[in-house]
Structure 1
Amino acid sequence: MSRKIPYYKTNNLLWRWKRCDGDDGCLLCPTASMSMDKEPPPLPVPKAPPAPKPPPPDRTLNTINGILNGLEALGRFKKWLDTPDPPKPPKAPPVKKDYMAVPPFDIQEIPGAMRKEHMPVGAKLMERWFNGRLNYSPDGSEVNQDGKPFAPDMYETGAVTLDWVLKFGRAKEACDYLVNIAIRSPEAIDALGNMLVPYKGMSGLYTDHIVKKDPRELHRLFQFASVRVGGTLADSVALQLRTQTQNFNRPDDLTGALGSFNLYAAVGHVRFSANFVNGERMSDTRIAELTGIWVYVKDNYTFSDASNAAQYLGHWSNGGVIVPVHGAMSASYVQSPVTIGSPTSKGNVHYPIHNSDFQQWAQKHKRGGDFVVYTDHRFVPINPPIQLYLRGDVAGEQVAGSEGTPGNNQAQNKQFKAVVRALGLDKYQARQLHEEISKQGLGYHEMLQRGQDMFGDGND
C-alpha cells in the first residue's frame, strides 16, 4: 500500500485545482521546518534636514591647513613603508556540503511563490507588510497596539485600482448590486437621511469639494452603503478541503490581495430644493435628490484571525501552493510539511502556513505593518435619483417618484408619516387618511394630494 498522500495543486492553464494521488502523491517530511530567521529589509531612514550653509573660507587658514595636512600624509606614508607585511592567515578547511539536507525555506519567500501562482498584486501587498514597521490593531479598528491611530503611511492608496478589482466577475456582480439595489435599502436610506440633514440649507452638495480627494475623509463623512465580496485565501482552501473537486476555481490574485472585502458607496452629488404643498412652500422641509455616488474599495490588510482557530492558508514552497489531504472527502488538512519528490531539491518541500505564522514572525522581528487599502473612487450617476424628505433637524423619509410607492412596508410607512408631518395632521386625521388610502399602493405625492383633498393644508 502506498504511503503517499493525495494533494491538490493549481492548474494555471485551466485555472482550477488538480488532484494528484497514487504514485503522484506527496510524502510526509516531519523533520523539515520553515525558517523565520531572515532579517527583513531595513526601514527607510528619514531624511536629515539640510545642513546650514558654511561661511566663506579663509584663504590664509586654508593655506596653513594644506601644508599641515601634507606633512601629516607624508608621515603616514613613511610609517607604512617601514611596517612589515602581516603573516598570512591559514586557509580554512573546506565546508562539506550535506547532500541530504533540506534546502531552507523562509516565510519571506512566499511573495515570490505568489508571483509564480499569478498573484502579483497579492505579492506586492504582502511584501509591503513584511517591509513595514510593527503595526497591528488588537480589536480590528484603526487604532494600533500602542493605542494610537494608524499613521498616514499605514494607508495604501496606490497599489490597488477599482478597474483592476472589477475585472473579477464576483466583484463586478457585487458592484452592480451595490449601485442598483443596496443604496436603495431602508438601512441605506436611513443612513443617507441622517447624513444629509446638516447640508439641507445648500442648493447642491459636491462631497469632493469637502473631502479634497482624501479617501479617509470621504469614508468617514459620507459612506452610507456597502456590499461584502468573499472570500479569503483561508476560505478558498477550506472549501477545497470540504469539496475536493477538481472543478472548483483555484484562488486568484483578488483572493491573494484582498481576500474578503467590502465595496462601498459614498455620497457624490446631491440637489436640494424646497418642498411645496398645494403651491405653498413648506419652510421647515426640504427635498434632497441624490444624483451621484462614489464607489470604492476599503480593506484592512492583516493576518489576524477572525476566531481563536488559526486559519490555514495552504502548504507553500518557493514554487507555489498545494493542499494535501488525508484521504477521500476528508475535510482536515495535513499539518506536517510534505515533499513532492526528493526533499533535498529546492522547492519540493511544502510547509503548512497559517495566519499565526505571520503573527509569530512579526513578534520575532518587531516588524510587519498591518495597513488599510483604499482604491481610487469612481463617480457613478444615479438614475432615477434617490429622493429624501428632510424636515427640521430630523432625517427624513424616502419620497416616491412617478413610479409610485416603494416595494416594502417600512418605506411606505415612512412616506405616510412624512405626509402627516407635512400637513400637520392630528392623530384622528392621520387615522382617517390611513383608512382612506390603505392598500391602494400610493406614492408620497399621491398620498399628499389625497390628504390635501381631505383636510386642505392641515390644521390652522
Structure 2
Amino acid sequence: MAKVRKVPYYVIERSLLRSPRWRLYKGSAGAVPINTFQTISFDRLPPGSATKADPLLPNVTPGGVRKEKTREEKNNPGSPDRPESATQQKRISLFRQRYIDAEDREKLAIFDLQDIPAAMEKMGWPVAAKAARRWFSGQAHVYNDQPDSEQPLDDSIVSLRWVLGYKAVKSKFDELLRSDIYSEKALALVERKLLERVRDAFQRSQSAKPNLNFETEIINSDLRQFHIDWHFQRKKISTFDTSDWDWMTPTDLTATLGNFLLYVAIGRVEVQGQRYFDYSQNPYRYCMDAEARMTHVYVYLKDNYSFNDKDPANSQYLGHWNKHGMTSSLVMAANELLGQYYPSVKMRLKGGKKEEYRVDWDYLPFPQKPLDKPIDTRRSFLRKFVEMDVYWPVFNRSYNDWRARNDQGEDFMIYSKPELHKLETPITIKLGTLSRPCKAGSPIC
C-alpha cells in the first residue's frame, strides 16, 4: 500500500510570553488529507428555529455527495446501504483514483458549520464570533454588491474605538484626518455638499441675520442616508493592516471585517459672511457672501458582512476549521495574501482545475489538490482521525449552501456609530454669493 503524502499547513500558536504567530508544520509533521463522502454538517437547527427539519429531506451539503435515506429506502429493509449499480461503483472508483494522495475514511466526527463562532471565541476572536452568530440568526438575505443599496444594518457589533486599538489602523486613521481630507477632490465634494445645504437654508429663512451654522445628524436612525448625504472621503484598510504585523497572523479584526473602509463625513460647520442688498435687480435681493468653516467631522467604518464571490468559479477560502480553531492551507494562504496587493497573480480554481496567472504554481514545493479536503493533523499521540485533529475546509460557498438549506443566513452591512472629531486645521471654503428675492414694501427679505 502506498504511503500517503502529507501536506504542509499553518496553525496560529499562542503563548503567554509572545504574540500569536503562524507555525508551519511540514514533512513528517504535515497533515494527512482525507478522502470521505462526509461533508460539513448543516443539520443543527438554525438559531431561533422552533421545529426540527424533516429528516426525510435530502441532506444537501457542499459537494452534494451524501443524502439521507428516502422514505422508500427506510421502509425497505432489503435496500442496500451502499450503492451497487455499475455506474455508482465506477464513480466511487474514479473518485478514489483521483485522490490517491489521501487516506480513505467513511466516518468522521461531525463538524457543523455553526460550530465556527465557538471556535472563533477559543481563538480569542469574540467580535468575529458575534458577527458570525448575527449572520446565522438572521433571515436569508444575499447582499447585492451595491455599496449604497438598502441592506440589513448593524451598528452594535463594531466600534471605532475598538478598531483604532490596532496600531496600523490608527496610523491610517491619522493619515486620513491629517492629509486625505484636504485633497482637492475631497474639498470639491465638501464645497458641493455645503453649498447645497447652506444655500437652501439661506433662501428659506426670512431673517436678516439667519443662523446658518449647523451640525449634521442621523435622522430616524438612518445611517445609510447619513452616509450618502454627508461622507466626502474614505480610506481603505487592508487585511495587512488588520493583521499582526510581526507575524502576519489574523486578529479578531481580520476575522470580523478583513478589508474595510474608514469614512469621513461633514460634522460641525460655521457659516459667516457680509450681508447686503442688491438693488441692481428687480425685485431687489438680499445677499450674503458666505464662507463656511468646518471644525469637526464624523468618522466611522462601513463594510458588508457577506459571502459573495467575485468569480463563482473561485469561492474564497476561509481556512480549515474544527470546533477548536483553524488551520490554513499553505497555497491558499499565500494566494489570499498575494491577492491583496497583486490581484493579477491570484489563481482561480475552476471545476477543481487550477488556472495560472503569471505564477506557475506547479513549481512551488507543495501540492494543491487537498485544499478542498478535510485534513488530519495527527498531533494526538499514535491516534488517527481524532476529532480535535481533523479540520474541514470552509469557503464562501459553504455559507451560501447553508443558507439555501436552512432559509436563514443574513448578509448585512456593518457600521460603527459615527464619532465626532475636532480638526486640528479647520476646513474653510468660500461658498460665493447667496441671495433671495425681497418682497415689495418689506424691509426684511
User: TM-score with structure 2 length normalisation?
Assistant: 0.65
**AA aligned opposite 1:305:** D
Question: What code does the residue aligned with 1:298 have?
Answer: K
Asked if 2 retains the 8 angstrom alpha-carbon contact of 1:102 and 1:343, the reply is no
User: 1:52-451 alignment to 2 at 5 Å?
Assistant: 101-141=107-147, 143=149, 149-150=150-151, 154-200=152-198, 201=202, 202-208=211-217, 211=219, 214-231=222-239, 248-274=247-273, 283=287, 285-308=289-312, 309-325=314-330, 330=366, 332=368, 334-341=371-378, 342-392=383-433
1:29, 1:349 within 8 Å by CA — same for their partners in 2? no
Write the deviation string for residues 264-286 of structure 1: whole angstroms up to 9, x where unpaired.
1111111111159xxxxx94531
SS of the residue 2:372 aligns to: coil
CA contact (8 A) 2:289 2:434 kept: no
CA 1:212/1:360 → structure 2, altered by over 3 Å: closer, same or farther? Answer: closer
The structural deviation recorded for 1:324 is 3.1
Contact 2:240 2:248 in 1 (8 A): no
What stretches of structure 1 of length at least 5 have no aligned partner?
46-98, 144-148, 241-245, 277-281, 395-460
Deviates more, 1:287-296 or 1:318-327: 318-327
Identity of aligned residues (%): 29
Does the CA contact (< 8 Å) of 1:122 and 1:253 recur in 2?
A: yes
Change in Cα spacing, 1:393 to 1:315, as seen in structure 2 (3 Å) is: farther
Identify the residue that residue 26 of structure 1 maps to in structure 2.
31
Aligned counterparts of 1:211 and 1:289: Cα–Cα separation in 2:
23
- After superposition, the Cα gap between the structure-2 partners of 1:213 and 1:141, relative to the gap in structure 1 and judged at 3 Å, is closer
* Inter-partner Cα distance in structure 2 for 1:274 and 1:330: 69
Aligned-pair CA distance for 1:106:
0.9
Which structure would you say has the larger RCO, counting Cα contacts within 8 Å and 6 or more residues apart?
A: 2
Listed as ranges, the gaps of 5+ residues in structure 2 are 52-104, 203-210, 276-285, 332-362, 436-445
Deviations 1:370-427 (A, max 9, x none): 1111112221111321111112579xxxxxxxxxxxxxxxxxxxxxxxxxxxxxxxxx
- In structure 1, what is the Cα distance between the partners aligned to 2:401 and 2:430? 53
Deviations 1:119-156 (A, max 9, x none): 1100110011011101122333465xxxxx43xxx211
Q: Output the CA distance in 1 between the equivalents of 2:192 and 2:288.
A: 16
> Does the 8 Å CA contact 1:43/1:133 hold for their aligned counterparts?
no
Moved more, 282-291 or 223-232: 282-291
> Over aligned residue pairs, what C-alpha RMSD do you find?
3.2
> Taking structure 1 as the reference length, what is the TM-score of the superposition?
0.63
SS class of match (2:268): strand
Describe the shift of the 1:268–1:44 C-alpha distance in structure 2 as closer, same or farther (beyond 3 A): farther
The alpha carbon displacement at 1:188 in A equals 0.9
Measured in 2, the distance between the counterparts of 1:329 and 1:271 equals 63
C-alpha contact 1:162 1:375 (8 A) present in aligned 2: yes
Helix, strand or coil at the partner of 1:314: strand
- The CA distance in 2 between the partners of 1:232 and 1:110, in whole Å, is 23
Tell me which structure has the larger Cα radius of gyration.
Answer: 1
CA distance in 2, matches of 1:298, 1:318: 30
SS at match of 2:426: strand
- In structure 1, the partner of 2:13 is 11
Whole-angstrom CA distance in 2 between matches of 1:168 and 1:191: 29
Quick one: structure 1 residues 351 and 100, their matched pair in 2 at CA, closer, same or farther if it must change by over 3 Å? Answer: closer
SS at match of 1:188: helix
